[in-house]
A and B are shown apart, each in its own frame.
Chain A
Amino acid sequence: MLCPFLTDPALKRALVSAVLVSCSGAPLGVMLVLRRMSLMGDVIAHAILPGTAAGFILAGLSIPAMSLGGLIAGLIVALIAGLATRFTAIREDASLATFYLLAVAAGILMLSLHGTAQDLEDILFGDAQSVDNQMLVYMAGVTSFTLLALAVIYRPLVVESFDPHFMRAVRGKGGLYHVIFMLLVVLNMVEGYRTLGTLMASGLLLIPAVAAQFWSRKLSGLISISVLIAIISSVAGIILAETYKVPSGPAIVLFIGAIYMGSGLLGRHGSVRARYFPFRHFEA
């Protein structure tokens, strides 16, 4: 069963692409979850859809055009959602849910008018094997850039997330780091959309981060565990998708889901196991 993954170049590229998305996506997901911005992550992932659809309509199945479209749409929606929650009286979650549904509706409408059912399926649910060498280089670039940028803004980003008042009081420019962070999130969502599909792209960022919370209470632990979960799941998902001829996005996301559920049952912190069968307590 594993043989084709060692010989078929398309499958090898699919596996590499999955590992690349996992390495940079999962740490961003940890920060999104800690900043209580999971919904924002979903919105950005879905916002990519109308952008890729526009790229598809203008240039056909061209990955650079579709990625560029997705990038532009993701940035616009991240900006509008940010402004809408700041300047209108609607609660943030309500306006984000609205944006996300509008984006999906617009994207699906555009694709059903101009593409085949197969195009629609590939864009929505991912087709890891369609990643070509050019796309792989782009993905490697985004992953490297994201990890470097995240290392640079790590401290101010953490402080801004944890205690924004302190950040403001010490004149720490929290807003700047927030913007850089959102930019990285958009870049990574676009990076992941071929492998995972626009409907599932946020899954590889967010669910490993949530599952990791059952295993660690430290930021470094959360990040490394979530990367590990993401890599295992995306590789396993791609193997399953190829074996059973299903789209790669749902296969990967469901595999992460299984790990999430297992963690919820057996994890070290806050799991069912920890609640009902705790280890012996310490002396103090």
Chain B
Amino acid sequence: MPIDSDSMGAAMTITLSNLSVGYDRHPAVHHISGVFAAGSLTAIVGPNGGGKSTLLKALIGFLRPMSGHIDFGGITPQQIAYLPQQSEVDRSFPLSVLDVVLLGFWPKIGAFSAVSSEQRGAAQEALEKTGMGAFAERPIEALSTGQWQRVLFARLLVQKARVLLLDEPFAAIDNRTTHDLMHVLQHMQEEGCTIIAVMHDLPLVREHFPQSLMLARELIGWGSTAEVLCDENLARATQLAGNWVEHAAECKKVA
């Protein structure tokens, strides 16, 4: 949603001020300002190459802003969880499902502390919540795409982060799994979690995400989903997506 003076710097809200992020001087996210309210559930939508994943990477701190800045309202990096796109994990690695879920305790146990039996119990409970309770001892390479995503959601549950950044969490996932995991997300939101997810499935966004941010390098709309996902905005996003330029001039907009 757009910045208003009341929400500036409020606790647990994430404020983007004139933020630009990108690669090799080419901004993929260009001069964006706005606020993710504490406890909000926001979908980031827009065309491929529109900067959605880039914005998430800036929020998790993998990319530095080219200009502008992000205010986290007191949220520490340890309180932010990030789920990248599916392809980025080595699924052939010889670990069990429970091992992966226990990683969610990393902010508490770090590299060296022991895992307590309560934590094991909590991990098993998280697996039950995502419908994977019977799979704790299975090797991860034996899981289907949907089952794997359920395991990663169990890890998110265990991590108890204040902010979730999800990059296309439901890509290549069937309806039943999407429905179950969406339910898990809503439950986490009810417990006060701020959730920001890159999404492509617009009907799903309309059904479940109260807030939306439409991005095609430029900010096209940010606010309630019904207002943002209007025909006019969608047409503008499509039109902008056709105009990526390789040899752009230096940007003169004030940072």
Contacts and interface: CB of A to CB of B under 8 A. Distances in A.
Most buried by A among B78, B96, B103: B103
Nearest to A154: B111
A28 B107 CA distance: 27
A184 B81 CA distance: 32
Nearest to A173: B111
A217 B141 CA distance: 9
Interface size band for B: 20 to 34
B253 to A, nearest CB: 31
A217 B94 contact: yes
B94 A156 contact: no
A171 interface: yes
Contacts of A177: 111
B231 interface: no
Interface in B140-189: 141
A166 B102 CA distance: 13
Interface residues of A, number: 25
A34 B93 contact: yes
A171 B82 CA distance: 12
Interface string B104-132: 00110011100000000000000000000
Most buried by B among A161, A163, A171, A172: A163
B103 A163 contact: yes
Contacts of A219: 94-95
Interface in A141-188: 152-153, 155-156, 158-159, 161-163, 165-166, 168-173, 177
Given A152-B112, A219-B95, A159 B103 contact: yes
A168 B81 CA distance: 11
Contacts of B84: 165
A171 B103 contact: no
Nearest to A30: B94
B81 A172 contact: no
B62 A34 contact: no
Contacts of A222: 94
Contact of B103 (A34, A166, A173, A216): A166
Interface in A35-77: none
Contacts of B60: 168-169
B73 interface: no
Contacts of B90: 34, 161-163
B80 interface: yes
B94 A216 contact: yes
Contacts of A159: 103, 106
B78 A171 contact: yes
B82 A165 contact: yes
Nearest to B106: A170
Nearest to A164: B88
A162 B112 CA distance: 17
A218 interface: yes
B245 interface: no
Contact of A165 (B89, B93, B106, B107): B89
A54 B54 CA distance: 49
Contact of B81 (A155, A156, A169, A171): A169
B133 interface: no
Most buried by B among A170, A171, A177, A219: A170
A177 B111 CA distance: 10
B111 A162 contact: no
A218 B140 CA distance: 10
A86 to B, nearest CB: 16
Contacts of B78: 170-171
Interface string A250-265: 0000000000000000
A172 B94 contact: no
Given A169-B82, A172-B111, A162 B89 contact: yes
Contacts of B110: 172
Contacts of B47: none
A216 B40 CA distance: 45
Most buried by B among A152, A159, A162, A221: A162
Interface of A: 34, 152-153, 155-156, 158-159, 161-163, 165-166, 168-173, 177, 216-219, 221-222
Given A165-B82, A169-B60, 15 more contacts: A34-B90, A152-B112, A153-B111, A158-B95, A159-B103, A162-B90, A162-B95, A165-B84, A165-B89, A166-B82, A170-B107, A172-B110, A177-B111, A218-B139, A222-B94
Interface of B: 60, 62, 77-78, 80-82, 84, 88-90, 93-96, 103, 106-107, 110-112, 139, 141
Q: Which 10 A-B pairs have the closest CB atoms?
A: A169-B82, A156-B111, A162-B93, A170-B106, A165-B84, A219-B94, A163-B89, A217-B139, A217-B94, A218-B94
